[in-house]
């Protein structure tokens, strides 16, 4: 129960679980008869034929709960800054099973392929697509930025599902022995864990985590960042003193200082890549 509360129910009650997804709905693929959707928020001055940067968000929830609403406020803000912002619905695992997150990864890769394949219609630059996510969604965002494998049946493999930058909120990207998610991946943890796939020429990355996070442990973050930098990659890390897992979420009706502060760091990271213009416009 503590595991579920930490990664799932906190989303439902504190991160906009009652909200509806924002933006225009698209179906990016079908899994059998089930349509899988993503939601796009466009800048007010957007038009077809633009070549704007994009960001694709994956929600958290232990791979077993959650909806594409966690990043509603992030998507609206980044669209106001000129990006096209997406939130992805992906298939969830049965909480009573021990299945590895194969279907989650398949859908994450398919969604990013769909965004890139439709870049012209969406008014985005296919070479400036960031993956982003929190916790289990942070795992997916890191996977599509760093790893191959688990392609969905019917996907066009000529279209790359790799992101061009990664924005990771307390990512559950280390599923090794003793780490979160290991009971699902077991001896195959290296097939699923971005933590073990640092190599040269990976996308620039930023990671936000709380010092007291028991799911995405800060030690894993600092070890990952050190390995990234040794391989010649950029990896900016922000460890917030005293903060727990999910501290950065938007909380309706409550003080949102951590939300604003972390979102400003995301803005400045994207600004440093040349994807945004001007100073952040966050109104705290």
| pLDDT band at residue 13 using 50, 70 and 90 as cut-offs | very low
DSSP lists the bridge partners of residue 205 as 166, 235
Q: Is residue 244 part of a domain?
A: yes
What local confidence, expressed as pLDDT, does residue 253 receive?
Answer: 74
pLDDT of residue 2: 30
Report the half-sphere exposure of 2 (CA within 13 A, side-chain side).
4
pLDDT at 3 over 90: no
Question: Mean of the pLDDT values across residues 132-136?
Answer: 96
pLDDT exceeds cutoff 60 at 260: yes
Q: Please indicate, yes or no, if residue 161 is contained in any of the structural domains.
A: yes
The predicted pLDDT at position 17 comes to 42
pLDDT over 90 percentage in the chain: 88
| CATH code of the domain covering residue 217 | 3.40.50.1820
Torsion over CA: 53, 200, 154, 100 (sign):
negative
Closest CA to 196 of 131, 146, 137, 145: 146
Q: Is 39 helix (H, G, I), strand (E, B) or coil?
A: strand
Say if residue 242's pLDDT is above 70.
Answer: yes
Q: What is the mean pLDDT of residues 96-101?
A: 94
| Number of independent structural domains in the chain | 1
Q: Are residues 156 and 192 in contact, defined by beta-carbon separation less than 8 angstroms?
A: no
DSSP SS3 for 225? helix
- In sequence order, the β-bridge partners of residue 58 are 88, 133
CA nearest to 24, candidates 111, 110, 86: 86
Contact 131, 166 (CB under 8 A): yes
pLDDT for the residue numbered 87? 98
Q: Around Cβ 54, how many Cβ atoms within 10 Å?
A: 26
Residue 163 counted as domain residue: yes
Specify the 3-state DSSP secondary structure of 236: strand
- Domain residue limits at 82: 2-272
Q: What is the pLDDT of residue 18?
A: 62
141-198 pLDDT, tens digit per residue, is 999 999 999 999 999 999 999 999 999 999 999 999 999 999 999 999 999 999 999 9
Would 139 be classed as within a structural domain? yes
Answer whether residue 281 is part of any domain.
Answer: no
Mean pLDDT of 199-227: 96
On whether residue 124 sits in a domain, the answer given is yes
- Is the pTM higher than 0.85? yes
**Which pLDDT value is given to residue 120?**
95
Contact 195, 176 (CB under 8 A): yes
- Would residue 278 count as lying in a domain? no
Residue 219, pLDDT > 80, answer yes
When the pLDDT of each residue in the chain is averaged and rounded to a whole number, the result is: 92
> How much is the average pLDDT of 20-34?
95
What's the rounded mean pLDDT across residues 121-135? 97
**279 domain residue, yes or no:** no
């Amino acid at each position: 129960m503590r595991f579920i509360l930490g990664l799932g129910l906190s989303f439902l009650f504190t991160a906009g679980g009652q909200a509806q997804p924002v933006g225009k709905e698209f179906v990016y693929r079908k899994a059998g008869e089930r349509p899988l959707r993503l939601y796009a928020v466009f800048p007010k001055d957007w038009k077809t034929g633009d070549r704007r940067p994009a960001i694709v968000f994956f929600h958290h929830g232990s791979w077993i709960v959650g909806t594409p609403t966690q990043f509603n406020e992030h998507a609206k803000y980044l669209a106001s800054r000129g990006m096209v912002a997406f939130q992805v619905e992906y298939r969830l695992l049965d909480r009573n099973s021990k299945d590895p997150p194969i279907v989650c990864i398949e859908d994450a890769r398919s969604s990013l392929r769909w965004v890139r394949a439709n870049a012209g219609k969406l008014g985005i630059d296919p070479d400036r697509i960031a993956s982003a996510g929190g916790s289990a969604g942070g795992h997916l965002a890191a996977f599509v930025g760093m790893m191959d494998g688990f392609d969905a049946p019917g996907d066009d493999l000529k279209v790359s599902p790799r992101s061009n930058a990664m924005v990771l909120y307390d990512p559950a990207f280390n599923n090794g022995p003793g780490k979160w998610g290991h009971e699902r991946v077991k001896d195959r943890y290296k097939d699923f864990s971005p933590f073990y796939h640092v190599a040269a020429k990976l996308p620039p990355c930023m990671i936000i985590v709380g010092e007291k996070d028991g799911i995405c442990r800060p030690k894993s973050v600092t070890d990952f960042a050190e390995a990234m930098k040794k391989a010649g990659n950029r990896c900016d890390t922000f460890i917030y003193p005293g903060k727990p897992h999910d501290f950065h979420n938007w909380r309706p009706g409550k003080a949102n200082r951590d939300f604003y502060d972390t979102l400003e760091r995301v803005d400045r990271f994207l600004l440093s890549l040349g994807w945004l213009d001007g100073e952040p416009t966050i109104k705290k």
